[in-house]
């Protein structure tokens, strides 16, 4: 049997839960959330690796409309964030609207009915509006390395941590040294017999000024939410200054660069190791990793930082380009995610049968990061060019939600059934983004990063301050959209079928 909801939401992370909550605030309750896993939480449910935590301050990492006065540390751990999201879903009655185990396999726009047909692993759904909240960092990326399939030990990705596998006394190889690896490597190092960390590119680091949040602070935030809001603003504006460096004047980042190099000097005595860890591109070009225990961990006697490229993986070893073979019984990928190829786009089809991925081949991008020409009533949270390297993605999600809600209100206020952005405004919008992108450190900093797609275009990040994205998504702008109206006959047919 096909279940219908006015709004279908894919995913139950910050995006999906935030969408369900805000829609309900506006009186839209006919909503279903389709979730592939068996609980809410998104990336904070999936990333359970040791040491998983947020590298954005806790004060910024909750919904502005559901601040958490109870964070125990200034940078929250994954279990605490997951518990926050579960509590949020419980307190706001979102769980009954969730369909767990329903991985979205295919979504097709029906140009006659003017609605979405969604097939999941467990059922069929229709929806007038489809909100994508699956997140760009949900599909782990495992590199193709010769011989990988021959490996006979245990291997897993950081976002699918194998907690059954005890690392005590093991010869472990970690591939990748990004934001995830710098969190779990220091946690697993004491257990392992030998830990080989394979680094392709050195990352710039910033210390993680983590501390316990005092009881007095928590009490104050609980009693006087305005004080917490003030503290939140202060942290927000402090971090916005990074956007100035990333997108306008990279020279401003000189201070941060010095802090990073000073830490490296202080924490790593060995000049050879220090050299290996010194980035050869501009600060901020790749996402800066936030850590205070990465460098000290790499100096431990059982740790080796390997910078020679991996030539081959054998059943129980890894061979590097210089011919050295290292025995390995556990292989952990800290190799990131399919961030710019949006794998979910292969499952979404418009009325002409074209997939979103196909459409994006020549012209990736969305209008205001949220809607896509040719795909009516599809709203993508954390869509193309909405990412940030310096502040909280929750801020961006809330900004986009304002736009989506305004669009939903527009549909309710008028007799319009569906809207899709016109091609011209979308092209203009993305040209502006790419023009601005040219002067950012991500384009000029001399590095390659997951921000860039195969053609070298940055379709991940917003090339300005986050508040400018908030301004761009403040209000739905119907003039930039084509309006579709469901004919009366189709309306009657659908109504009759629903009875």
Residues in the site for ligand N01, rule: CB under 6 A?
A: 54-56, 137, 143, 158, 175-181, 198, 200-201, 286-287, 334-337, 450
Nearest CB to ligand N01, comparing residues 98 and 181:
181
Q: How far is the CB of 137 from ligand N01 (least distance, A)?
A: 5
Residue 490 CB, shortest distance to ligand N01, in Å, is 43
**Least distance (Å) from ligand N01 to the CB of residue 387?**
7
Smaller CB separation from ligand N01, 47 or 171:
47
- Distance in Å, CB of 348 to ligand N01, minimum: 23
Q: Find the shortest distance in angstroms from Cβ 156 to ligand N01.
A: 13
* Residue 133 C-beta: closest distance to ligand N01, Å: 17
Q: Compute the distance between CA of residue 41 and CA of residue 64 in angstroms, rounded to an integer.
A: 17
Residue among 68 and 179 whose Cβ is closer to ligand N01? 179
For ligand N01, the closer CB: 32 or 181: 181
Q: Which is nearer to ligand N01, 116 or 337 (CB)?
A: 337
Q: What is the CA radius of gyration of the chain?
A: 24
For residue 207, report the phi and psi dihedrals to the nearest 5 degrees. -65, 150
Residue 306, phi then psi, degrees to nearest 5: -105, 125
CA dist 491 and 246 (Å) reads 50
Closest approach of ligand N01 to the CB of residue 105, in Å: 25
Q: Which is nearer to ligand N01, 138 or 400 (CB)?
A: 138
d(Cα 178, Cα 175) in Å, to the nearest integer?
10
The nearer residue to ligand N01, 393 or 437, going by C-beta atoms, is 393
Q: Taking the complex as a whole, how short is the minimal distance between the CB of residue 466 and ligand N01, in angstroms?
A: 14
Give the CA distances from residue 441 to residues 331, 388, 478, in Å, rounded to whole numbers and listed in that order: 33, 13, 34
Residue placing its CB nearer to ligand N01 in the complex, 181 or 243: 181
> Least Å distance between CB 122 and ligand N01?
29
What is the C-alpha to C-alpha distance for residues 110 and 127, in angstroms, rounded to an integer?
10
Q: Cβ 362 to ligand N01, closest distance in Å?
A: 25
For ligand N01, the closer CB: 43 or 120: 43
User: For ligand N01, which is the closer residue by CB, 295 or 349?
Assistant: 295
Minimum distance between the CB of residue 386 and ligand N01, rounded to whole angstroms?
A: 13
For the CB of residue 419, give the shortest distance to ligand N01 in the complex, in Å: 31
8 Å CB contact between 442 and 458? yes
Q: Pick between residue 386 and residue 417 the one whose CB is nearest to ligand N01.
A: 386
Q: Using the minimum distance from each CB to ligand N01, give the nearer residue, 177 or 400.
A: 177
Residue 175 contacts residue 331 (beta carbons within 8 Å): yes
CB of 379 to ligand N01, least distance (A): 22
3-state secondary structure the chain: CEEEEEEEEECCCHHHHHHHHHHHHCCCCCEEEEECCCCCCCHHHHCCCCCCECCCCHHHCCCCCCCCCCCCECCCEHHHHHHHHHHHHHHCCCHHHEEECCCEEEEEEECCCCEEEEEECCCEEEEEEEEECCCCCCCECCCCCCCHHHCCCEEEEHHHCCCCCCCCCCEEEEECCCCCHHHHHHHHCCCCCEEEEECCCCCCEECCCCCECCHHHHHHHHHCHHHHHHHHHHHHHHHHHHHHHHHCCHHHHHHHHHHHHHHHHHHCCCHHHHHHCCCCCCCCCCCCEECCCHHHHHCCCCEEEECCCEEEEECCEEEECCCCEEECCEEEECCCECCCCCHHHHHEECCCCCEHHHHHHHCCCCECCCEECCECCEEECCCCCCECCCCCHHHHHHHHHHHHHHHHHHHHHCCCCEEEECHHHHHHHHHHHHHHHCCCHHHHCCCCCCCECCCCCECCECCCCHHHHHHHCCCCCHHHEEEECCCHHHHHHHHHHHC
Give 337 or 367: the residue with its C-beta nearer to ligand N01: 337
Measured in whole angstroms, the distance separating CA 226 from the mean position of its chain's CA atoms is 29
């Amino acid at each position: 049997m096909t279940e219908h909801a006015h709004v279908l939401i894919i995913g139950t992370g910050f995006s999906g839960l935030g969408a369900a909550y805000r829609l309900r605030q506006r009186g839209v309750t006919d909503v279903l959330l389709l979730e592939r896993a068996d609980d809410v939480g998104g990336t904070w449910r999936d990333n359970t690796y040791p040491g998983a935590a947020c590298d954005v301050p806790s004060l910024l990492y909750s919904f502005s409309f559901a601040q958490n006065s109870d964070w125990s540390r200034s940078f929250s751990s994954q279990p605490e964030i997951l518990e926050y999201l579960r509590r949020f879903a419980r307190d706001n009655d979102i769980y009954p609207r969730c369909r767990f185990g329903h991985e979205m396999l295919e979504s097709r726009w029906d140009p006659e009915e003017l609605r979405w047909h969604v097939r999941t692993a467990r059922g069929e759904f229709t929806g007038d509006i489809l909100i994508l909240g699956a997140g760009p960092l949900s599909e782990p990326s495992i590199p193709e390395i010769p011989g990988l399939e021959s490996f006979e030990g245990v291997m897993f990705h950081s976002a699918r941590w194998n907690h059954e596998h005890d690392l005590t006394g093991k010869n472990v190889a970690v591939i990748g040294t990004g934001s995830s690896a710098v969190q779990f490597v220091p946690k697993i190092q004491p257990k392992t017999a030998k830990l080989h960390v394979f680094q392709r590119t050195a990352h710039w680091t910033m210390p993680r000024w983590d501390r316990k949040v005092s009881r007095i602070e928590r009490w104050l935030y609980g009693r006087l939410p305005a004080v917490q809001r003030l503290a939140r603003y202060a942290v927000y504006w402090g971090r916005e200054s990074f956007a100035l460096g990333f997108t306008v004047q990279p020279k401003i980042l000189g201070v941060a660069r010095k802090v990073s190099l000073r830490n490296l000097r202080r924490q790593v005595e060995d000049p050879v190791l220090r050299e290996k860890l010194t980035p050869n591109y501009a600060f901020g070009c790749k996402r800066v990793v936030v850590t205070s225990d990465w460098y000290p961990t790499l100096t431990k006697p059982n740790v080796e930082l390997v910078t020679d490229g991996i030539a081959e993986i054998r059943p129980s070893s890894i061979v590097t380009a210089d011919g050295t073979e290292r025995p390995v019984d556990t292989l952990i990928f800290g190799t990131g995610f399919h961030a710019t190829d949006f794998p979910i786009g292969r499952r979404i089809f418009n009325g002409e049968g074209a997939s979103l991925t196909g459409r994006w081949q020549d012209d990736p991008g969305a209008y205001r990061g949220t809607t896509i020409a040719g795909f009516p009533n599809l709203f993508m949270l954390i869509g193309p060019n909405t990412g940030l390297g310096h502040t909280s993605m929750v801020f961006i999600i809330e900004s986009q939600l304002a736009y989506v809600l305004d669009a939903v209100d527009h549909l309710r206020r008028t007799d319009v059934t569906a809207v899709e952005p016109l091609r011209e405004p979308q092209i203009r919008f993305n040209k502006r983004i790419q023009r601005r992108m040219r002067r950012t450190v991500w384009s000029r900093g001399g590095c390659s990063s997951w921000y860039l797609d195969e053609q070298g275009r940055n379709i991940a990040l917003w090339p300005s301050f986050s508040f400018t994205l908030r301004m761009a998504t403040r209000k739905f702008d119907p003039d930039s959209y084509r309006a579709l109206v469901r004919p009366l006959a189709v309306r009657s047919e659908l109504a009759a079928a629903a009875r």
